[in-house]
Structure 1
Amino acid sequence: MLPLRDLNPTIHTPVATWGVIGLNALAWVFIQGMGMDAPMAESLCRYADSRGPVRHGAVGRRHSGDGKPGLHPGKLPSFAHLAEPYVHARRWFHIITNMWFLYIFGDNVEDAMGPVRFIVFYLLCGLAAAVTQLMADSNALIPMVGASGAIGGVLGAYARLYPQVRVVTLVPIGFYFTQLELPAIAMLGYWFFLQLAGGIPALAGAGGGVAFWAHIGGFLAGLVLVGLLRRPDEA
């Protein structure tokens, strides 16, 4: 299922949401060279989270590094850990889908927090996502990058704040697609179920390179943190 739009008007201009989308776009262009092999591999070596040596055969070259800036035991988060949610893999599909979900759901979550709290929330969800994934797969060699975990936090917050808001969703039925208006809790609950369905086999090493537990950790962090960071007048 793909959300097309939500029927939830915003009150304030979502400056932080647009800013995060812009930062992701700038990182994709100027740090990752719009998916070109050399800058893509370099960005993964610099900013991906991994506990072991990182090898990037998927981008056309094989690079090995010391696993930096992975969250090794006793190692404090650095700038690279904050930068990790702004770099992507999987070519265009990874960044486009992430930014689309953020565009659909981020504005209303920002409305409930204000832009400054939203940025803090987004970064904390990204960090929680990374820690959850690395705890679930402590020997991961596949580099973990992307905004999916932080955006999972946005989805968790939205599910808590606006469970009954209707979301216009593109739903496949066999070889055809139709549009349905689903409650946010149903659409986002289905998304969370898919992450669990992928995450449980991943515990046995069958995850196929997708950081499902980052998505799960981000979503759960969003459910909790939104209660702490929403504006007092929205509580």
Structure 2
Amino acid sequence: MVIPVHDVNPVRRTPWVTYALIAANVFVFLFMPGLSGSVAGDSSLAQSCHLHAFLEHYAAVPRELIHHQLPQLVPNGEVGTGAHGAGCVIAPPGYDKSPVASVFTAMFLHGGWLHLLGNMLFLLIFGNNIEDRMGHVRFALFYVVCGYAAAYGFALFNADSSAPLIGASGAIAGVLGAYLVLYPKARVWVLVPFLVFLPLRLPAWLVLGFWFVLQAVYSSGEGVSDAGTVAYAAHVVGFLAGMLLAWPLKPGTPPPPEPGGLLFGRRARPRHSW
């Protein structure tokens, strides 16, 4: 897996929406219950119960999205003792949950630091150019639509699942799909793990195309052990949605600047014309 660090594709205006989305995701994550335990690595039962109750309320759940079947009993964040020892107390929910609205709130929830930072890195690198091309308002709408498409697409393939679906990955996958359509020849600096991290400058079509193929393979359960915990199918659907929504903008999109000086991490030799 390659790690993108920068793209050679300048923007004309400040990507305020991209920055705001990153700030919102970080802010929400810092105040998610159970965060202190996840940072220290010693999450207590009370923190775990609080987190489960929080996710039950604000995360998207495929069964709720498709069948509109809300649970009668949910964790209430308290710890109790039963016949099998201490555990989370289950009780009727003290709130009214909207499955449709839960898709939006779930876009700002993350399961850990790596989940958050990985998503924000991709959004920072590729989101600014898509926002620059679409404009602030259209980009914000585009981001949300891709997030909804990804969540409902995943739910269609997992209609009976009651596992919480969280993260900005689906919406950001839409950003990657749009970037592939609009800027396939833009150069992206990536780190390739091969004994050490090798810096290479590769075309966006190769970086993002490889990423999409991996997500499609992983969504089938092949080649990965955690296919049940990562919503790869949501990444695939979000990516395709982003491609479709960005396609009408392709004819009027100016090409990225021609790269010069460095190629694949080395300085290119000058070529002579005959």
TM-score (norm 1): 0.83
**Distance change in 2, residues 1:9/1:179 (3 Å):** same
Q: 1:217 aligns with which of 237, 247, 250?
A: 237
Tell me what 1:106 maps to: 127
TM-score (norm 2): 0.72
Question: Runs (4+) of structure 1 moved beyond 3 Å?
Answer: 31-40, 52-55, 61-71, 230-235
Tell me what 1:23 maps to: 24
Q: Give unmatched runs, 5+ long, in structure 2.
A: 38-46, 65-70, 76-86, 255-274
Contact 2:181 2:250 in 1 (8 A): no
Q: CA RMSD in A?
A: 2.8
1:16-71 residue CA offsets vs partner (Å, 9 max, x unmatched): 0001111111111224463643553333111212116688xxxxx75768899585
- Aligned partner of residue 11 in structure 1, secondary structure: coil
State the shift of 1:114 in Å: 0.5
Q: Give unmatched runs, 5+ long, in structure 1.
A: 56-60, 72-76
Same amino acid, percent of matched pairs:
39
State the shift of 1:14 in Å: 0.2
Contact 2:13 2:132 in 1 (8 A): yes
1:112-153 residue CA offsets vs partner (Å, 9 max, x unmatched): 100100000000000000011111111223211000000000
Correspondences of 1:53-202 after superposition (within 5 Å): 71=99, 77-78=100-101, 80-89=102-111, 91-173=112-194, 175-201=195-221
**Whole-Å separation in 2 of the counterparts to 1:62 and 1:221:** 39
Greater helix percent: which structure? 1
Contact 2:4 2:188 in 1 (8 A): yes
Contact 1:125 1:150 in 2 (8 A): yes
- Aligned partner of residue 17 in structure 2, secondary structure: helix
State the shift of 1:155 in Å: 0.3
1:128-184 residue CA offsets vs partner (Å, 9 max, x unmatched): 0001111111122321100000000000000101001010010012x2220111100
Greater strand percent: which structure? 2
- Count the aligned residue pairs: 219
